[in-house]
Copies of this chain bind each other. A is one copy, B any other.
Amino acid sequence: MELVQTFLDQNTKIIDMGADFRLKNLSEWERLYSRKHICPSVVQEAVYGIPELHRDAIKQTNVVANPGCYASACILGMAPLVKAGLVETDHIIVDGLSGTTGAGAELDIPSHHPEIANNIVPYNVIDHRHTYEMEQELSLLSSTRVTVHFTSAYVPITRGILAICHCFPKGPVNRLALLNLYREFYKDEFFIRVFDMPPEPGASWQYVSYPWVSAVSGTNFCHIGLDVDEQRNRIVVFSVLDSVGKGGAHAGVQNLNLLFGLDEHTGLTRHGLHPY
């Protein structure tokens, strides 16, 4: 935020890879980031950089706020359900599991191999800053204010995030109908893949009827799957992406392509190493 006005004065478009322009609620931002915001007007002008939700606005803005990694996974995973008004918006519970590149390049305890290699490390388990991005963006899609109960943990993989999103349908739903809802919602989205492989009973590939983070590592793709516990009336949505791919740097390139009128896919068509 220290530099943005200077760039704007020079007619330079900006993609902020940090968090300075993600939250419209300034007092919330100032509390969470323990700083005073110095360019509030730019916050209002900035567009939250998820093209699947804000493509047209991104094309027309000068400032894109590239989203947080967990936020991207959760928002993409929950958007169709929230938009359709199918679920209770005060009981959305999300566990975000992240690989260690999500902790950054800096040396730190939870990415120290002897500590994490046989471990799972919960951290920022309440009031994670990305929660506010999830609530802001999902509330925009909903007629009621959305609350997200988010907890994060590191697991011993290097790349990738799995968001396990639990929510409660207002009425009866089933897996197939919801998969169709998701397919329709993302039908024009190259980078979003909805998983629809229902497991045959006893088939070993039941494991791949839900998205695997290994399949999106190093890519701009986000894979989404789900299931419904009809007996207990719960929906669970799985959303996977690479925190330095669709959840970070690659998303920045996608936004850059949109900002400058390039083909949105430029530089981003690489698929993962994994066959699924």
Contact = CB atoms under 8 A, between A and B. Distances in A.
Interface string A204-244: 11110010111001100000000111011010101000000
- Please report whether the interface of chain A is mostly helix, strand, loop or mixed according to DSSP: mixed
Name the interface size band of chain A.
35 or more
Contact of A95 (B101, B164, B210, B232): B164
Interface stretch (A59-67, A106-114, A180-188, A253-261): A106-114
Contacts of A108: 107, 204
Nearest to A211: B122
Which of A126, A168, A218, A270 has the largest count of B CB atoms less than 10 A from its CB? A126
A235 B95 CA distance: 13
* Number of copies of this chain that the complex holds: 4
A130 interface: no
A188 to B, nearest CB: 27
Contact of A207 (B99, B109, B157, B231): B109
Interface of A: 91, 93, 95, 97, 99-101, 103, 105, 107-123, 125-127, 147, 149, 151, 153, 155-160, 162, 164, 166, 168, 204-207, 210, 212-214, 217-218, 227-229, 231-232, 234, 236, 238, 270, 273
